[in-house]
Amino acid sequence: MKSSEVTKKKITNILFSAVDEINHGLPKEARLDKSPQTALLGAEGKLDSLNFVNLILSAEEKLSAEFGTISLAEAIVADDQTNPPETVEALADLVGALLEKTNS
Amino acid sequence: MSKATLKCVLISDFNISNLSAYLENDPKLPAIHTTVAPYGQVIPTLLDEGSDVWADKPSLAVIWTRPEAVIESFAAALECRRPPVDNVLAQVEHYAEALAGIQKRVAFALVPTWVVPTYHRGLGLLDMKESGVTSLLWQMNLHLAGKLRDAPNLYVLNAQRWIEVAGASAFNPKFWYMGKAPFGIEVFKQAVSDIKAAVCAVSGQARKLIVLDLDDTLWGGIVGEVGWQGLKLGGHDPIGEAFVDFQKALKALQNRGIVLAIVSKNEESVALEAIREHPEMLLRLEDFIGWRINWGDKARNLVDLVNELNLGLQSVVFIDDNPAERARVREALPEVLVPDWPVDKMLQKQALLSLKCFDTPSISDEDLKRTRMYALEQKRSQLKVSVGSLDKWLPSLDLRVTIEEMNDGNLKRSVQLLNKTNQMNLSTRRMTEPELLAWLKRGQCKLWSFRVSDRFGDSGLTGITSIECYDNHGQIVDFVLSCRVFGRQIEKVMVHTAVDYARRAGAKHVEAKYLPTPKNKPCLEFWRNSGFEHDKENYTFLWDTSKAYPLPDFITVNKPGL
């Protein structure tokens, strides 16, 4: 497996563990599936704004522990980030891009 | 544990949705349904009785604020402007008055202490001097707790403990900027745990008996193999010291009214010798209200012991180092709390002191003497065996009952009995102090407390009875007696008191209506044999007040001031 694929798998698993964490605070019917296609925001998303924040900050903490400091929250709220990631996969892609930027 | 959903209102100056979500979705009973007061409207919500949040009559309110949001001069302190301490404390008093105003709207309220982010160093080296952030914060919290001390249904919770448990994730400024939540999720989870413990405490579900294993729980080693002299206990040894500290922590719980017992697989004589003889044993035989030390099944032994002590399994915590024994008791007796227990003996004291199941809303004199009272009870039982018949035994006890109407001196203990007693309880009505006092102000309502003593000692305030008279009718509402004094005809003194009052108030009948619960069958048995007429279909008992209710002639009754 290429290192980029390994990294993407690691990122996705970390995002899933963040999903596990926020699911504790959600009623059963609103809990997120752990799948790359799971919608976070938008028409099909189940998260309200605070739970999206909870997810992002939980993910950021876990990602930083694994890869070193990563400002995921800032990237999402920055002026040039007009479309926040709406699925787990889109979030994983954003994280990947931030890591590449950090490492280059 | 009650399965009824508790209604709770959350009042805050910050986004408290995370607390709401974790309270509602926590699977542990009791279930809680929350209503969140309008964001940032703390004082208006507290002061406005007509606010929508009170319309649904919540049982519980949680008022959680940032100090700078409700105490204006503290906001100045955070900007290092050093406000005078007196100004700050005066504002705390106004806030306390606003909090005290909600006492009649809820059964009880919880107020977490104020905290500031750990990264805020205030005046740095000078921060514990006057007007430093830390110095002010501690003074504010203590002042608030002091002002609310006498409010019987307001409790201040230590939020600093939640911060410490959450550690580095307690404060993340990004939560504030992105969601107006000042804390990380772990802080809210810790808050949920303490809030649920508080609900259990106020609703009379505190545990009161710890049943302990011996080998490798109370001391290190197997006493049957190494003898008491070979046990690891005390001395210049980290593990020995840890066992002594564990015993100290158990003794501290005794001072809160928790009682201790033993269930151990051992030769009884060998185990008892160790408890008597080992010089480093802190807990001696008189510290235990009972034991079953044999080779039998621990679950059966536990049931046998609890029955002898007239307690319910829901009162029990079982502590054993052996995971197989814990699993056995957990499976056989789901009502018993069996906490997971650390393998490392140096962590036992910490595990014990972390348990929240002993929380109670008050500690009475009776609580403090509970262990001694059980010892006296054993002496009474021994007398019973020697005397033989009940008719001869009861008069030999020289029973004395002191009856008082509700007053400041007996209010706390009476409310405690009302909320904690299950077996001899006619209606299992649960009330806070303000609720009971409000009820007593209605029409012709009376409540009496019954203090019982005999030649062995004082059992304390162990019974309450209340009656409401209206339309020539007397209704016995509360009839509550501690299991410690069952079966000595104190019950008849209580009934006599209520009937006597009803007769003088002009009632033609006195009625008692039994409300069945899983635990109060002993109460039904008493009323069936009470002499009252019994309507079997709807558990109603009736007395014609043209006759007095007989008082047992071997009981001396004192009624000071009545």
Question: What one-character-per-residue DSSP string does B317-383 give?
Answer: EEE-S-HHHHHHHHHH-TTSB-----SSGGGHHHHHHH--TT--S---HHHHTHHHHHHHHHHHHHH
Integer Cα distance of B73 and B13 in angstroms: 16
- Reply yes or no on whether the pLDDT at A2 is more than 70: no
> Looking at CA atoms only, how far is residue B178 from chain A in angstroms?
7
Closest CA to A59 of A46, A44, A73: A73
Chain A environment of B186 (Cβ under 8 Å): none
| The two structure tokens encoding residue B388 | 């033989």
pLDDT at residue number A82: 66
The DSSP output letter for B219 is: B
- Reply yes or no on whether the pLDDT at A102 is more than 90: no
- Burial (0-12, 13-18, 19+ Cβ within 10 Å), B534: middle
By Cβ distance, the residue of A26, A58, A73 closest to B178 is A73
Answer whether B178 sits within 8 Å of A58, measured CB to CB.
no
Residue of B nearest to A71 (CA): B174
Whether the bond into B182 is cis, omega within 30 of 0? no
Answer whether B179 sits within 8 Å of A21, measured CB to CB.
no
Q: How many CB pairs under 8 A join A and B?
A: 43
pLDDT at residue number B311: 87
Chain B environment of A65 (Cβ under 8 Å): none
By Cβ distance, the residue of B22, B172, B181 closest to A50 is B181
> Looking at CA atoms only, how far is residue A32 from chain B in angstroms?
15
Q: Which of residues 4-23 of A touch B (CB under 8 A)?
A: 21-22
Is residue B175 within 8 angstroms of chain A, CB to CB? yes
Closest CA to B100 of B47, B55, B34, B42: B47
Chain B environment of A84 (Cβ under 8 Å): none
Integer Cα distance of B447 and B445 in angstroms: 7
Which of A47, A49, A50 to mutate to probe the B interface, most B CBs <10 Å?
A50
Answer whether B25 sits within 8 Å of A77, measured CB to CB.
no
Phi, psi of A68 (to 5 degrees): 95, 170
pLDDT at residue number B483: 81
pLDDT at residue number B179: 94
Query: How is the beta sheet containing B154-157 ordered, strand by strand?
Result: B32-36, B6-12, B60-64, B108-112, B154-157
CB B43 within 8 A of CB B36: no
Which residues neighbour B500 within 8 Å (Cβ) at sequence distance 6 or greater? B548, B549
Chain B environment of A41 (Cβ under 8 Å): none
By Cβ distance, the residue of B25, B175, B179 closest to A25 is B25
pLDDT at residue number B7: 96
In a 3-state reduction of DSSP, which class is residue B202?
Answer: helix
Residue of A nearest to B186 (CA): A21
Chain B environment of A50 (Cβ under 8 Å): 15, 17-18, 179, 181
pLDDT at residue number B108: 94
Chain A environment of B24 (Cβ under 8 Å): 27
Number of Cβ within 10 Å of residue B335's Cβ equals: 11
Chain B environment of A21 (Cβ under 8 Å): 185
- The proportion of chain A whose per-residue pLDDT surpasses 90, expressed as a percent, equals 63
Phi, psi of B216 (to 5 degrees): 60, 15
Closest CA to B502 of B466, B535, B473: B473
Query: How is the beta sheet containing B288-294 ordered, strand by strand?
Result: B288-294, B259-265, B209-212, B316-319
Average pLDDT per 10 consecutive residues for chain B, totaling 562 residues:
83 96 91 94 94 94 97 93 94 97 94 95 91 95 96 95 95 94 96 95 91 97 92 93 97 94 94 96 95 93 91 94 92 95 96 95 81 78 68 83 93 91 91 92 92 87 95 95 86 97 95 92 92 89 96 93 72
> Beta partners for B444?
B469
By Cβ distance, the residue of B21, B25, B174 closest to A57 is B174
CB B474 within 8 A of CB B468: yes
Chain B environment of A51 (Cβ under 8 Å): 21
Closest CA to A47 of A24, A31, A61, A35: A31
Beta strand pairing status for B444-454 and B540-544?
unpaired
Closest CA to B268 of B303, B293, B302: B293
pLDDT at residue number B258: 95
CB B482 within 8 A of CB B367: no
CA distances for B188 relative to A27, A53, B184, B414, B524, angstroms:
16, 15, 7, 34, 44
pTM of the model as a whole: 0.79
Which of B5, B10, B25, B26 to mutate to probe the A interface, most A CBs <10 Å?
B25
CB B390 within 8 A of CB B380: no
Answer whether A54 sits within 8 Å of B178, measured CB to CB.
no
Answer whether B184 sits within 8 Å of A73, measured CB to CB.
no
CA B417 to chain centre: 10
Is residue B240 within 8 angstroms of chain A, CB to CB? no
Which of A17, A49, A53, A60 to mutate to probe the B interface, most B CBs <10 Å?
A53
Number of Cβ within 10 Å of residue B245's Cβ equals: 18
Is residue A69 within 8 angstroms of chain B, CB to CB? no
Integer Cα distance of B524 and B520 in angstroms: 7
Is residue B27 within 8 angstroms of chain A, CB to CB? no
Chain A environment of B15 (Cβ under 8 Å): 50
Chain A environment of B12 (Cβ under 8 Å): none
pLDDT at residue number B29: 83
pLDDT at residue number B382: 72
Is residue B179 within 8 angstroms of chain A, CB to CB? yes
